[in-house]
Amino acid sequence: MIPLITDNQGLAAYCQQVRNSNVLALDTEFIRQSTLYPKLGLIQLYDGQTLALVDPLAISDWQPLQQLCAASGVVKLLHSCSEDIEALATIGITQITPLFDTQLAAELLGWGSSMGYARLVEQLTGEVLDKSESRTDWLARPLSDTQLRYAANDVHFLFPLYEKLWQQMTAQQQSLLLLEGEQLIRRRAQQLPLAFKYLEIKNSWQLTPRELAILRELAAWRQRYAMEKDLAVGLILKDIQLVELAKRRPATAESLLNIPGMPLREVRRHAKTLVELIQTAKELPQQQCPQRFYHPDGFVGYKETVDQLSKAIKAAGAAHAIPSEFISVKRQLNEYLNWCWRVSDDDRALLPLPEFMLGWRKQYLWPFLPKPAHIVELTGN
């Protein structure tokens, strides 16, 4: 049986023990079925010598692990770490540096995007991992030996992956991967202000200014409510339902039920709020409604611009021998497009800079990107 660390003293002792290690493998198990924030059920740690499983339900002092994760002399080794970063942030671990993500390393080597942990382990070591506990309830206690062994494997095999991946990477690739680890940490902290959450809704660019004004109010309210109640946003109202509300502009609680798929329970709970939000947006002066696009004289069209950006990313990747999927995912492309054309000049100042304009991406990608005149004037290049 693999023992659990279930007290503050045990966690502090382990962190002190591995403080001088070169590498620390790190993973989490959590539940996120109906909540906005992940609920930590287990933390796995392994420095190549000693493996520890930490019970977050029993720990109250996270300072030793916070300090260890921020220690610049210890490489933190994770696989597909975006959700782990979110889970660890719930216990105050917001600095994980330097960070080496084995999934991104495989992507950078040109082995394909989003490669799963079990597949990568099998490809590089020949080991076939048992994934039967992947849907277990990690908040239930006690955890079985099978669950604990499954969790332990998620860090135990990170070490051979790290060694093999690091050896195959060039110095440039090693540097890029660690720089991207820094950006992953910054990304979690750079959330869109609530007033701009509507930009993240698929196909919102097709709506009229008045419809966008309604969508803006509804999306901001949904996110605020989700944060207050710790609810997954899709359990409140789905994106497609927000879009339909924006298009149909119902004026009464009864007419809300004409929206396809509207959950009766949520209509009853939020009818008054929804009708009031829609009415407020309907009464806004036209000049206060978001436009589909700003600076239309220099905008060739949404789909055409997406195509231009996609070609720019591929060109930059070819020029610098970096896989295009490592340079950009769709979210980053949309972030740049929205920042350039979908917000007013005044609103742009309220948003974080797109990732295309930060760090290593700016160095490698910026020369290839289409840049509207108002952005060139703003940035000076």
What is the DSSP pairing of strand 39-46 with strand 51-54? antiparallel
Predicted local distance difference test score (pLDDT) of residue 1: 63
What CA–CA distance (Å, rounded) separates 196 from 217? Answer: 9
> How far is 30 from 58, CA to CA, in rounded Å?
15
State which CATH number among 3.30.1490.190, 3.30.450.20, 1.10.150.80, 3.40.120.10 fits the domain covering 296-379.
Answer: 1.10.150.80
154 labelled catalytic: yes
Whether the domain at 4-189 and the domain at 194-288 fall into the same CATH topology? no
Q: Tell me which of 47, 84, 217, 239 is the catalytic residue.
A: 84
Contact of 81 with 100, CB cutoff 8 Å: no
Q: Assign residue 4 a region: left if phi > 0, alpha if psi is -120 to 50, beta otherwise?
A: beta
Q: What is the pLDDT of residues 135-148, one digit of tens each?
A: 789 999 999 999 99
Lowest mean pLDDT among 81-95, 248-262, 321-335: 248-262
Domain residue extents for the chain:
4-189, 194-288, 296-379
Q: What is the largest CA-CA distance in the chain?
A: 67
Of 154, 211, 217, 239, catalytic: 154
Structure tokens at 34: 């109906």
Share of the chain above pLDDT 70, in %: 100
Q: Is 150 a catalytic residue?
A: yes
Instruction: Looking at the structure, give the CATH architecture of the domain made up of residues 194-288.
Output: Orthogonal Bundle (1.10)
> Among this protein's residues, is 145 annotated catalytic?
no
Check 46, 150, 198, 336 and give the catalytic one.
150
The pTM score is 0.93
What's the mean pLDDT in 304-310? 97
What are the C-alpha distances in Å from 299 to residues 308, 312, 333, 347, 352?
11, 16, 16, 18, 22
239 is catalytic: no
Omega cis (within 30) before 98: yes
- The 8-class DSSP code of residue 209 comes to H
Length of the chain: 381
Residue 307 known to be catalytic: no
Residues 214-267 pLDDT 10s: 999 999 999 999 999 999 999 999 999 999 999 999 999 999 988 888 888 888
Name residue 142's amino acid.
P
- Please report the sign of the dihedral spanned by the C-alpha atoms of residue 335, residue 340, residue 342, residue 347: positive
Show the beta-strand stretches assigned E in 17-102. Answer: 23-31, 39-46, 51-54, 75-78, 99-101
The pair phi, psi for residue 77, each rounded to 5°, is -110, 120
Q: Give the CATH H-level superfamily of domain 4-189.
A: Ribonuclease H-like superfamily/Ribonuclease H (3.30.420.10)
> 28-60: per-residue pLDDT in tens?
999 998 999 999 999 999 999 999 999 999 999
